[in-house]
Amino acid sequence: MLEITLRRFFPDYPVCCFSNGQAFVDQLSRLRKPRLILLNQYMPALDGYQTLLHIRRQAYYVTVPIVMMSAHAPIQEIDGCYEAGANSFLVKGIGGVNSQATLELVLRYWLKLNQ
């Protein structure tokens, strides 16, 4: 759903998707500087928090907004992500981000309104 939403409503922005945090980190230096990074908190190989820490240690990416996402995250983990440099944290599913409209609003904010 995420990739489809990005390509449909934000066609002017290139989209790169990775199956896990380690794959993203391995390719990061080869990519153009992203306008926005979306990370799932519970990815295989290198989770979202570890990926966030890796990105924030590099000065080149300090201004790139990072939005964390998870279907289940205790408040301590969410707070930890903010302390590590996340700009937003979306809780997916029941009681959280469960609609394409909500996702569109968040993406519009970070890609268009917050430049």
* CATH number of the domain bearing residue 12: 3.40.50.2300
Query: What's phi and psi for 57, nearest 5 deg?
Result: -75, -15
pLDDT in tens, 54-103: 999 999 999 999 999 988 888 999 999 999 999 999 887 655 455 677 77
Q: Which of 41, 31, 24 is nearest to 91 (CA)?
A: 41
What one-letter code names the amino acid at 24? F
Describe the strand order of the beta sheet including 88-91 as a list of residue ranges. 37-40, 66-70, 88-91
The pLDDT assigned to 23 comes to 93
Q: Domain span at residue 19?
A: 2-113
Residue 5 has pLDDT above 80, yes or no: no
Domain total in the chain: 1
Q: What is the pLDDT of residue 97?
A: 53
pLDDT of 3 reads 78
Q: What mean pLDDT, rounded, does the chain reach?
A: 86
DSSP state of 99: S
